């Protein structure tokens, strides 16, 4: 598994999978820079937009992740990835043709269905391609796609919207007349359809198996394993879900905050936040994986959990402070350490999943993890900010406070839960004893 040719193929696969993750997060996050144009065009409240950005995607992304992960544990992982990329890209194109809340909601559901195939297959493929002491780094490189994709969505998507708005109307063959907010969605979807065949360049690694098992265990065995180690899984999944809630709240609403409450232009707001998120996030996620791998090589069994707890603690005060900053310059400056710290936590989260379960359960364990963090993070985070603003604090002027409370308090809670579960996490790894 560690020869030069094998490692070269493994790293090529990581880069291809990272490219797909970049595309996934472009498609997932581009909606966050279109808050006001979509609200104006479709007549939506902040709560409705939160549902559109969060719940619509998370609904089937979480529900279908586990059955699709069974295919990752038993079938062709590259085939699953290829079909998933093509499916979510086609649905993103349909998002760009939506003309009502219902149409856009259903198309976003379809994007979530397609993206549900990617990460369980990717985590399983990477875990079988790298030894344990290199996995956190490899998975953090793949996961850098989260921040590179989100950054591209804001930087390039913002410029596309500004250009399209200047043209008043965009009329394309096949697609017909498009509103300015629809153009980046169509372009993002078409890019994915073009690049999806790259999945067939992946080579399937030999599947690892626990010594005492033959065949692929059923989902019931995963449930029994989780029930045997509840503290480990509660700490890991719950802690990173709360950090995800903080991260999705910030990512979904930051450009809107910079535009509406700091009077920045869409071009400046999207470019500024996109650069901070793309560069800071990519650096943070690689840093988190590198630190965890170094600690793991020295025998620190709970290195992934420790790095996650420290990252959440570092992120929390910045998440509280940036929406309440006195100027756009200060808000953007506070977003830099916030992006780095939050990303460092997710540099280790997925690596923690694959070391907590027997090898034959990695795909489904990854899907359960993704179910939890997306149901809570993406399903709740963006919507909760809108609900607090519209129905608790009573209006647009309270939006910065809503964002500060959701982002900051959930990061503090994530740190506490991750720290409290360290002993159970170590016991789970010691009881497993496989690579």
Give the burial string for 208-234 (b: 16+ CB within 10 Å, else e): bebeeeeeebebebbeebbeebeebbb
301 contact partners, CB below 8 Å, separation of at least 6: 425, 426, 429, 430
Cβ count near 86 (within 10 Å): 17
From first to last of its 435 residues, what are the pLDDT tens digits of the chain?
456 668 889 999 999 999 999 999 888 888 888 888 888 889 888 888 888 878 888 877 877 877 887 888 788 899 999 999 999 999 999 999 998 999 999 999 889 888 888 988 998 899 889 887 788 889 889 988 888 988 888 888 888 878 877 776 677 888 888 888 888 899 999 999 999 999 999 998 887 665 445 455 567 888 898 999 999 999 999 999 999 999 999 998 999 999 999 999 988 999 999 999 999 999 999 999 899 989 988 889 899 999 999 999 999 999 999 999 999 999 999 999 999 999 999 879 888 888 898 877 877 888 889 889 988 998 899 889 999 998 899 888 899 999 999 999 999 999 999 999 989 999 998 887 654
Element (H, E) at 211: none
Give bridge partners of residue 171 from the DSSP assignment. Answer: 177
Instruction: Give the pLDDT confidence score for residue 219 in this predicted structure.
Output: 76
Residue 166 CB partners (closer than 8 Å, separation 6+): none
Residue 77 tokens read as 């992982």
- For domain 4-197+218-432, the CATH architecture is Up-down Bundle (1.20)
Domain boundaries, the chain: 4-197+218-432
Q: What is the pLDDT of residue 212?
A: 47
Tell how far CA 293 is from the center of its chain. 21
Say if CB 247 and CB 146 are below 8 A apart. no
Q: Quick one: pLDDT at residue 217? A: 53
Helices 77-95 and 182-195 sit at what angle, rounded to 10 degrees? 160
pLDDT, tens only, 366-386 = 888 988 998 899 889 988 999
pTM of this structure: 0.81
């Amino acid at each position: 598994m560690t020869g030069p040719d094998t490692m070269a193929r493994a790293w090529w696969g990581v880069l291809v999978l990272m490219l797909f993750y970049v595309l996934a997060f472009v498609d997932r996050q581009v909606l966050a820079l279109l808050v006001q144009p979509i609200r104006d065009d479709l007549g939506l409240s902040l709560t409705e937009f939160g549902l559109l950005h969060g719940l619509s995607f998370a609904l089937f992304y979480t529900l279908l992740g586990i059955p699709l992960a069974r295919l990752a544990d038993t079938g062709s992982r590259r085939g699953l990835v290829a079909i998933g990329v093509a499916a979510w890209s086609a649905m993103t194109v349909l998002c760009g043709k939506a003309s009502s809340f219902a149409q856009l909601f259903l198309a976003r559901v379809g994007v979530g269905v397609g993206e549900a195939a990617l990460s369980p297959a990717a985590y399983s493929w990477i875990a079988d391609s790298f030894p344990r002491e290199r996995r956190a780094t490899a998975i953090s490189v793949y996961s850098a796609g989260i921040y590179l994709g989100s950054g591209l969505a804001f930087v390039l998507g913002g410029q596309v919207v500004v250009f399209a708005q200047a043209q008043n109307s965009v009329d394309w063959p096949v697609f017909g007349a498009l509103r300015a907010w629809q153009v980046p969605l169509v372009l993002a979807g078409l890019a994915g359809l073009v690049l999806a065949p790259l999945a067939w360049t992946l080579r399937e690694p030999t599947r690892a198996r626990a010594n005492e098992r033959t065949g692929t265990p059923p989902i019931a065995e995963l449930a029994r394993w989780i029930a045997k180690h509840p503290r480990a899984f509660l700490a890991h999944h719950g802690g990173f879900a709360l950090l995800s809630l903080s991260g999705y709240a910030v990512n979904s609403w930051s450009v809107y905050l910079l535009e509406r409450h700091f009077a920045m232009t869409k071009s400046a707001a999207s470019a500024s936040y996109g650069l901070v998120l793309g560069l800071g996030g990519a650096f943070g996620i690689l840093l988190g994986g590198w630190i965890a791998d170094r600690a793991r090589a020295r025998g620190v069994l709970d290195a992934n959990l420790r790095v996650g707890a420290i990252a959440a603690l570092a992120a929390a005060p910045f998440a509280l402070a940036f929406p309440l900053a006195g100027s756009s310059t200060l808000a953007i400056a506070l977003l830099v350490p916030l992006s780095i710290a939050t990303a460092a936590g997710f540099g280790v989260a997925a690596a923690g999943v694959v070391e907590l379960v027997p090898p034959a359960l990695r795909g489904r364990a990854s899907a359960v993890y993704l179910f939890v963090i997306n149901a809570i993070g993406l399903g709740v985070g963006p919507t909760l900010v809108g609900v607090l603003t519209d129905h608790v604090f009573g209006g647009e002027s309270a939006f910065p406070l809503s964002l500060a409370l959701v982002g900051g308090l959930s990061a503090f809670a994530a740190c506490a839960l991750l720290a409290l579960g360290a002993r159970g996490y170590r016991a789970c790894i010691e009881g497993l004893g496989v690579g």
